[in-house]
Structure 1
Amino acid sequence: MAYTVPETIRSSATAGERLLFTTLKNFLPDDYIVYYEPEIHGRHPDFVIIGPDLGLVVLEVKDYTQNTIFQVNTDTWTIVNGKGQQAAVKSPIKQARDYMFHITNALQKDKNLIQTEGPYRFKLKFPSGYGAVFTRLKQDFFVREGLYSVCDPNLVLTRDEIDPDKEEFSEENLIEKIMGMFVVPFRLKEPLTKEEIDAIRYHLFPEVRISAEFKPPVPYQDQLLLSLHEIKTMDLHQENLARQIGDKNRLIRGVAGSGKTLILSARAKYLSKQHPEWKILVLCYNISLAQEIRHMIRMKMNEPDSLFDFDPNNAANDGDLKNIQVYNFHAWLKQEMKISEKQIPIFVQKLASGEAILPKYDAILIDEGQDFEPEWLSLASSVLNPDTQMLLLVEDRVQNIYSRKRSYVQDTGLSFQGRSKILSINYRNTAQIVKFAWDFYRNHSALKNKVVKGSIEGEEIISPQSTRRRGPEPAILKGKNLKEEMGFAIKLMKRLHAEKGVPYSEMLILYRVKRTYNQNIIETIQKELKAAGIPNFWLTENADSKRGYEKNQEKVVISTIDSSKGLDFQAVFIVNAENMPFALEANKEREVSLLYIGMTRSKDYLFISYSGESEFTNYFDKIKDNRLKLKEKLGSV
């Protein structure tokens, strides 16, 4: 079964389009991608198929009947509409060909996707083809009317070739026909790699772009070509969610590192592009996360379709968010609503009774929804345009550190039954970090009996699935004091920076409390970093430092675990771990979630250190002992 984008076809699609969509989905290979009506640099072909052994094929779909077609030639067809009126239209074959050239012109600018030597130099390294599908006409009609004289039979699919209910239908013939839709046919010697398919998607669909190592266009044998490396895109499930979240209220529940914020940002851009007249609000709890979301949306909003016009160094700073506002909740209260948190219940009543009138938001997107109080959600839903009801909630119950209890129906007045999606794959962390963090959570959380796999709506916790990306096991070190812990951390930082090329801006130090009765933790962290000559930025020093944070500064970031939610770094150092669970925190479940959050901020390298004893450090001691025993056992073999 092929992967379709979107997952389901729109209800207004023609009967022929629905038939073809279902047939392609059911009968093409599992590693094929079928796009229905994608927008590609301002054009909207009906279907685009990408396959590792196929290349790329564009299909134009026509629901013409025998009475529709009046006269044809290779370029123009004269058709008769339902009122008996004649109209000249471009040949369906030529329409598909033009779409194909539009796509290949975009892809041929990437040096990594073209042939750089031989007779086909500067042409794509994979075949690109096109064809037309006539969903209401059979092959015998084409033969009888001589249509194959102006339509190459290799470039045409008819009803009997796409309808599984027809006796003439053959799965093998369908695939062979699509494999042959090339003017200059050639089969790939080696199938396209995942990286090459991601590069195709990266160029054609700006909304799926995450990042790439971008080098300015350079002349190559008289051609100006792009050079992109380390391309990262949304996976197909994430792309489908971003494109087809659906209208009205929706809920996305995802594990840490599953791309929830990325999808929310892509959704904000999509809504802004589709409805430039709308007023769109994005809310979250943390100040630092609001900054990250604002940065992410601005990057997406200012990125042009053509990468030749894109300057990655300026994209994050130039331009505005157009009709999108991004706030942490309390800043929104202060700046837009002009009220304090204590005034929310009274204000909601006034809005309901018409005593207070405010401009409505046409869409509201809430990240880290598990952090929102019920009355906060009630306020947000009360300023939502009742005609659109476009409320998107994104959450992860494992990261619920504020013990919010809620009923979404009661809090928002909207039901999410049957309107939720699950993101269970963790893309951020290596498999080792995912397992390490999840094992910790399962061993300490009181909610472990609520863990499920699959799409369940309610209070259940979603079990994360890791990708195949692997890395080193998280490091656990016990020191004599915090100074020695920092010595361990600094040694590893310098090593990662020098040997692995990890920028200091991709390193994060997390602490639970700023100071205790016997030591100033933040002062020790900063003092040791300064002595080692490592530049640093204290993200959680105050509200201004949170608002002024920019990740591209070449400085190690220091933060509380609370304020790191939604952020990620290549290397994370959790120090002074013996202060968890914190003695003054009555809710142990919050402490479990906090440490889980801290661990899952790390994309590649995780370091945990402590110089005291707690329930959590006793758990880490056992892991260290087990690792040592395993090492000794393997050494004796």
Structure 2
Amino acid sequence: MAIDIVRGAIKNQIASADLIETINGVQNEYTGTLFLAYPLSATAESVVTIDALLVTKEKGIIAFIFDSGAEREEQQDSLYYQITNTLNNYETLRKGRRLAVEPNVITYCVEFEVPECSDEYIYASRDNLKEILENSIGNFDSNYYEKLIEALQKISTMKPKKQRRNVVKESSRGAIMKNIEKQIANLDQWQKKAAFEVPEGPQRIRGLAGSGKTVVLALKAAYLHAQYPDWNIAVTYYTRSLSQQFSEMIANFSREFIGDEPDWNRLHIIHAWGTYSEEGIYSIAVRKVGLTPLNYTNAKSKYGSNGAFEGICREAVSAFGNQTYEEYDAILIDEAQDMPSDFFKLCYSLLKEPKRLVFAYDELQNLGNNSMPSLEEMFGLNMDGTPKVVLENKVNEARQDIVLPICYRNTPWALTLAHSLGFGIYRPEGLVQLFSDTDLWTDIGYKVISGTLENGKHVKLMRSEEASPTYFKDLLDKDDAVLVERFDNCIQEYKWVSEQIKKNIEEDELDPDDILVIFPDTYYAKSEYAEFRKFLILNGINSNLVGVATSRDTFKTEGCITCSHIYRAKGNEAPMVYILNADYCAQNIELRKVRNILFTAITRSRAWVRICGVGDGIDILLNETKHCTDKGYALEFKIPTEAELKK
């Protein structure tokens, strides 16, 4: 038993601290969460934020009003009816004609004398709250707990669930996806803190692919906008198709929080780069210092294709000097692993104090050749040589550094194999790369089977049971979840994949937009797709190449399978993923880059992934995969010494 505490946009620091201390005194008696400054809903007059909301399996929902010394009964009545009206919208919380969940409202007193309780109105302080919870609040039917959390967190509104009316077979892939998609989607304890906690300064969110980073950022943006409507907030990213995701999710969350679309003049979803006609963080920044933003073509000719964005950001930082332009109250960055260090300096210069910069990343999804820069490289040093940014998780304060360890998108087998191939765990020539912080392995959901997580030592790791939802093992076969297929030539490969896709649609009851085909080699993706499309046409399958047949901000189109190079696929997902010409990722002069491409491609899959290729390259990947699967999807290797890691 334990009560998790989530510190939102707290207005009354004294009462919040007092309540937290009191709740900590009953930690071992209840299981649930105490939310400070919880966004309930919107009324015609205002946004309703509860001072504190305690939700437990034993007592259900308890809302606290911090006592102001006036209109106590009116405040309790109003909040009771607002909670009741909100919960009445959810059929899963009804029992016959009434609510199955009875809200409880308590006025919590810190600065004023505690009034006497009555049958209807409850008043508490640190001296009597324990007794009130035990004797004045009735027991709760815990069968409704998960449904109550789902209603309060509103995650199910983020993305409407597919109807999948074509599913008639009980065990088809379509039926399996329907079952997976109907699982109750609630934030875990780490996601709650990442979404709602607002520290005074920067915040880092690290997480695996599929751990909910993008959802958390969307929810955080909507939450901040609801709590601080006058703030100027930017949400930025590098993969253009994320614009569609962010727009839809933030709009859905905002309708719940404020009853309407967000004020898009205050909440900006903008690309990291931008153009002459389209705002981006970079283009806004350089205009502040009187420069004309460079487009990709000009930047490429000046700094090369791999260094284009890094070059123009470095140029902009140099033009900024020590100047700051307080354009934004908060900036939220997704895909931070793809941003050069000077981009963070630009964002930092555009922020008002206390520099609320939230950045989320998965280091292995970096599609360049570089590892994630240090905080000193990202933000620089003060005049006295100390780092400008230090991330600390202090007791009784909002967390500045959060790791999301649970992967909700990928099966444990796909994720383990992705790490195996991405790091080159079973590569005969040795590792390609590795986390510099060995503790990160356990932070992201691996457990030590044998050995130790120390430099220079051998270790054997496996995904822990707690790090994956149970429905993967309940519904999927690990031998079917991940397959590596070898072909003699591309014609055989394209023919087989197109026939499999036809089977997926006609027999497996997947929708066309459930299927994603990824081409790892961006340079040849367009020509490879042109050849592959001939086989799709022969099988009567419609398809789109993202950014060519669709707008660059649109990823999926109903009735068509999605084909994409890896940069367009980043940040997106699909139940069935085919990686074509994966042999490109086996060995390359830019080995770290191509292995990260392979990791990113594999982790687009929500259920099944097929890694396809030809020749010696796919044989290399097959050999590494066999070592991983033969060991029961364990990662067994020697951790390099610190000196070896620096090479």
TM-score, scaled relative to structure 1: 0.73
Q: Check whether the contact 1:514–1:520 (CA below 8 A) recurs between aligned residues.
A: no
Report the Cα distance in structure 2 between the residues aligned to 1:152 and 1:97, rounded to whole angstroms.
13
1:427 maps to what in 2? 408
1:440 maps to what in 2? 421
Indicate which of 198, 204, 208 corresponds to 2:149.
Answer: 198
2:94 maps to what in 1? 114
Change (3 A) 1:109 1:411: closer
Q: Check whether the contact 1:477–1:610 (CA below 8 A) recurs between aligned residues.
A: yes
2:319 maps to what in 1? 350
Between Structure 1 and Structure 2, how many residues are aligned? Answer: 536
Q: Check whether the contact 2:159–2:249 (CA below 8 A) recurs between aligned residues.
A: no
1:521 maps to what in 2? 528
Indicate which of 393, 398, 401 corresponds to 2:359.
Answer: 393
AA matched with 1:270: Y
AA matched with 1:48: L
Change (3 A) 1:127 1:415: same
Q: Check whether the contact 1:136–1:158 (CA below 8 A) recurs between aligned residues.
A: no
Report the Cα distance in structure 2 between the residues aligned to 1:321 and 1:572, rounded to whole angstroms.
37
Change (3 A) 1:134 1:251: closer
Report the Cα distance in structure 2 between the residues aligned to 1:187 and 1:498, rounded to whole angstroms.
47
Q: Check whether the contact 1:294–1:326 (CA below 8 A) recurs between aligned residues.
A: no
Which deviates more, 473-482 or 528-537? 473-482
Report the Cα distance in structure 1 between the residues aligned to 2:230 and 2:67, rounded to whole angstroms.
33
Counterpart check, 1:329 vs 2:273? yes
Q: Check whether the contact 1:540–1:560 (CA below 8 A) recurs between aligned residues.
A: no
1:518-570: CA deviation from partner (whole Å, max 9, x where unpaired) = x95322321111111111110154xx845242425331111122332111111
1:72 maps to what in 2? none
1:574-607: CA deviation from partner (whole Å, max 9, x where unpaired) = 122222235xx41212222111111111111111
2:60 maps to what in 1? 55
Change (3 A) 1:469 1:438: farther
Structure 1 residue 372, shift from structure 2 partner: 1.7
AA matched with 1:201: L
1:69-118: CA deviation from partner (whole Å, max 9, x where unpaired) = xxxxxxxxxx6xxxxxxxxx3244x53343122111221132222123xx
1:168 maps to what in 2? none
Change (3 A) 1:515 1:398: closer
Corresponding residue SS for 1:38: strand
Structure 1 residue 192, shift from structure 2 partner: 2.1
1:415 maps to what in 2? 389
Structure 2 residue runs of 5 or longer lacking an equivalent are: 42-46, 164-180, 287-291, 300-310, 381-387, 393-399, 445-454, 456-460, 633-647
Q: Check whether the contact 1:255–1:463 (CA below 8 A) recurs between aligned residues.
A: no
Corresponding residue SS for 2:63: strand
2:293 maps to what in 1? 339
Change (3 A) 1:399 1:152: same
1:365 maps to what in 2? 332
Q: How does 1:289-328 map to 2 (within 5 A)?
A: 289-301=242-254, 320=264, 322-328=266-272
AA matched with 1:447: Q
Q: Check whether the contact 1:256–1:600 (CA below 8 A) recurs between aligned residues.
A: yes
2:439 maps to what in 1? 452
AA matched with 1:339: P
Counterpart check, 1:484 vs 2:492? yes
1:239 maps to what in 2? 192
Q: Check whether the contact 2:56–2:145 (CA below 8 A) recurs between aligned residues.
A: no
Report the Cα distance in structure 2 between the residues aligned to 1:249 and 1:345, rounded to whole angstroms.
21
1:419-440: CA deviation from partner (whole Å, max 9, x where unpaired) = 3222222122123322332333
Q: How does 1:623-634 map to 2 (within 5 A)?
A: none
Q: Alpha carbon RMSD of aligned pairs, Å?
A: 3.9
Report the Cα distance in structure 1 between the residues aligned to 2:14 and 2:190, rounded to whole angstroms.
25
Change (3 A) 1:353 1:601: closer
Counterpart check, 1:176 vs 2:130? no
Counterpart check, 1:563 vs 2:571? no
Structure 1 residue 498, shift from structure 2 partner: 4.3
Report the Cα distance in structure 2 between the residues aligned to 1:623 and 1:385, rounded to whole angstroms.
46
Indicate which of 500, 505, 510 corresponds to 2:518.
Answer: 510
Counterpart check, 1:96 vs 2:76? yes
Q: Check whether the contact 1:366–1:393 (CA below 8 A) recurs between aligned residues.
A: yes
1:261-284: CA deviation from partner (whole Å, max 9, x where unpaired) = 222222322333344444333332
Report the Cα distance in structure 2 between the residues aligned to 1:275 and 1:136, rounded to whole angstroms.
26
AA matched with 2:498: I
Change (3 A) 1:496 1:20: same
AA matched with 2:538: A
Report the Cα distance in structure 2 between the residues aligned to 1:491 and 1:624, rounded to whole angstroms.
26
Indicate which of 584, 602, 609 corresponds to 1:599.
Answer: 602
Structure 1 residue runs of 5 or longer lacking an equivalent are: 64-78, 80-88, 163-170, 181-185, 216-227, 310-314, 628-637
Q: What is the identity percentage for the equivalent residue pairs of Structure 1 and Structure 2?
A: 20
Structure 1 residue 232, shift from structure 2 partner: 3.0
Report the Cα distance in structure 1 between the residues aligned to 2:522 and 2:122, rounded to whole angstroms.
69
AA matched with 2:471: R
Q: Check whether the contact 1:209–1:233 (CA below 8 A) recurs between aligned residues.
A: no
Corresponding residue SS for 1:59: strand
AA matched with 1:435: T
1:67 maps to what in 2? none
Report the Cα distance in structure 1 between the residues aligned to 2:119 and 2:104, rounded to whole angstroms.
13
Report the Cα distance in structure 2 between the residues aligned to 1:319 and 1:60, rounded to whole angstroms.
28
AA matched with 2:469: T
Structure 1 residue 467, shift from structure 2 partner: 3.0
Greater gyration radius: 1
Structure 1 residue 386, shift from structure 2 partner: 4.4
Structure 1 residue 441, shift from structure 2 partner: 3.3
Change (3 A) 1:463 1:347: farther
Report the Cα distance in structure 1 between the residues aligned to 2:242 and 2:255, rounded to whole angstroms.
20
AA matched with 1:437: A
Counterpart check, 1:24 vs 2:33? no
Indicate which of 205, 212, 230 corresponds to 1:252.
Answer: 205
AA matched with 1:619: E
Structure 1 residue 407, shift from structure 2 partner: 3.5
AA matched with 2:328: Y
Structure 1 residue 251, shift from structure 2 partner: 1.8
Structure 1 residue 618, shift from structure 2 partner: 2.8
Structure 1 residue 333, shift from structure 2 partner: 7.0
Q: Check whether the contact 1:503–1:554 (CA below 8 A) recurs between aligned residues.
A: yes
Q: Check whether the contact 2:150–2:156 (CA below 8 A) recurs between aligned residues.
A: no
Report the Cα distance in structure 1 between the residues aligned to 2:560 and 2:37, rounded to whole angstroms.
44
Which deviates more, 282-291 or 418-427? 282-291
AA matched with 2:236: L
Change (3 A) 1:113 1:510: same
AA matched with 1:128: P
Corresponding residue SS for 1:160: coil
Corresponding residue SS for 2:563: strand
Corresponding residue SS for 2:321: helix
Q: Check whether the contact 1:505–1:554 (CA below 8 A) recurs between aligned residues.
A: yes
Report the Cα distance in structure 2 between the residues aligned to 1:9 and 1:174, rounded to whole angstroms.
27
Counterpart check, 1:611 vs 2:610? no
Q: How does 1:134-153 map to 2 (within 5 A)?
A: 134=109, 147=116, 151-152=118-119
AA matched with 1:428: R
Change (3 A) 1:319 1:37: closer
The structure showing larger relative contact order (alpha-carbon pairs under 8 Å, at least 6 residues apart) is 2
Q: Check whether the contact 1:370–1:404 (CA below 8 A) recurs between aligned residues.
A: no
Report the Cα distance in structure 2 between the residues aligned to 1:500 and 1:100, rounded to whole angstroms.
48
AA matched with 1:535: N
Structure 1 residue 358, shift from structure 2 partner: 6.7
Report the Cα distance in structure 1 between the residues aligned to 2:552 and 2:253, rounded to whole angstroms.
20
1:578 maps to what in 2? 583
1:76 maps to what in 2? none
